[in-house]
Amino acid sequence: MSLPPLVEPAAELTIDEVRRYSRHLIIPDVGMTGQKRLKNAKVLVIGAGGLGSPALLYLAAAGVGTLGIAEFDEVDESNLQRQVIHGQSDVGRPKAESARDSIKEVNPLVEVVVHGERLDNDNVMDVFRGYDLIVDGTDNFATRYMVNDAAYFLGIPYVWGSIYRFDGQASIFAPSLADDAPCYRCLYPEPPPPGMVPSCAEGGVLGVLCAAIGSIQVNEAIKLLTGIGDPIVGKLVIYDALELEWRKLKVRKDPNCALCGENPTVTGLIDYETFCGAISDEAAEAAADATISVSTLEQWIKERENGERDFVLVDVREPNEYEINKIPGSVLIPKGDFLNGSALEKLPSDKQIVMHCKSGVRSAETLAIVKGAGYSDAVHVGGGVVAWVNQIDPSQPSY
């Protein structure tokens, strides 16, 4: 659908700006007026990670006058494979500050506003207020639902993107711009069951996929800000990088949507962590009194070597993760084998079962399955192999 521009044009462009944006100015659809709208625009990018990196760089290069960066994390070496706004010398720095410095190198004419705190119910409305558009580069469901709800309450449209391994998605959620425009809850009324959708940290992501989806987000942002083209409001773009296939699906406004429907039940910000649930209730119950630390596990391994204790240490990660690092003496049985039931045949009935994964989420889910199968003394390792590498064996790589 064709939409009016979100932003009024600035009074003028300087000579330096005309020189810088000349390739935009000679595009009839953008021209001087479109570039003035970009100059006058205020865009908030949530996250300076995989999607936020290309989004921030291209929004800055395009001449968006004010760019907000909402990011609380620090640069880690594992980020550099895809988060191209950061460099090796930025490892350990706040991502928001690193991104700000990169933006200034790309375009010193852009005003950068850093929001270095974690977004939550207490600050999200204040952070969002005053921006014309939001570009969402978040990587977890709890934050996505919070962004959607806060943007809806403030009447701010936002461009959403999502990436995983070789697959990407993008859309625009903007009920404030059109009566039939959906919100994120229209597309995903409920979050997936806890533990069913791995994060990028667990499942990985092809680095260049971030550029593909991030650039789509910026393309749509420019269209909204300047009022050109046909923005993907009410559409879902799906990209398969392995097959190099693009699909575009219709997303309809849900009249029964809990937020933007005819009889809304979500009328304010909610507890998003509880709504999405990091782990299932069954996993939380199973892990409540059956979680050991990596220091306890280290002691148990020593006792096993001395014949004082007997147990089976099960790693429920994927084989490619097991190749990166491992806890000595562990046996690899991926989580999928527990879900389909085949793993139970591999577990001895006369030994205690100790389970671990990367961080403790997947092992908690599989712990519930194992306990349900009668292994009442089974436990899992809180913090998983990440905690093991950080606290016990730093000679191994982390990921």
The 3-state DSSP class for residue 112 equals strand
How far is the C-alpha of 119 from the C-alpha of 273, rounded, in Å?
Answer: 12
Residue with tokens 């527990």, as numbered in its chain: 338
Report the distance separating Cα 325 and Cα 138, nearest Å.
27
CA–CA distances in Å: residue 159 to residues 311, 326, 370: 50, 39, 42
Rounded CA-CA distance 183/384 in Å is 36
Tell me the torsion sign for CA atoms 41, 38, 86, 16. negative
Put the strands of the sheet holding 291-292 in their side by side order: 291-292, 379-381, 352-356, 311-315, 331-332
CA distance 87 to 43: 24
Distance, CA of 279 to CA of 196 (rounded, Å): 9
Q: In which element (H, E) is residue 103 found? A: helix 95-106
Catalytic (active site) residue 210: no
List the one residue out of 222, 230, 223 whose CA is nearest residue 65: 222
Of the residues 183, 200, 257, 276, only one is catalytic, namely 200
Beta bridge partners of 86: none
Q: What are the structure tokens assigned to 231, written together?
A: 């923005």
183 is catalytic: no
Cβ neighbours of residue 216 closer than 8 Å, sequence gap 6 or more: 161, 168, 170, 237, 239
Q: What single-letter amino acid sits at 250?
A: K
210, 257, 260, 357: the active-site residue: 357
Question: What stretch of H or E contains 125?
Answer: helix 124-128
How many Å apart are CA 43 and CA 35, to the nearest integer? 15
Query: Nearest-CA neighbor of 121 among 146, 151, 155?
Result: 146
For residue 96, what are the CA distances in angstroms to 52, 148, 194, 346? 10, 22, 29, 47
Listed residue (323, 350, 319) closest to 333, CA to CA = 319
Q: Active-site positions?
A: 200, 357
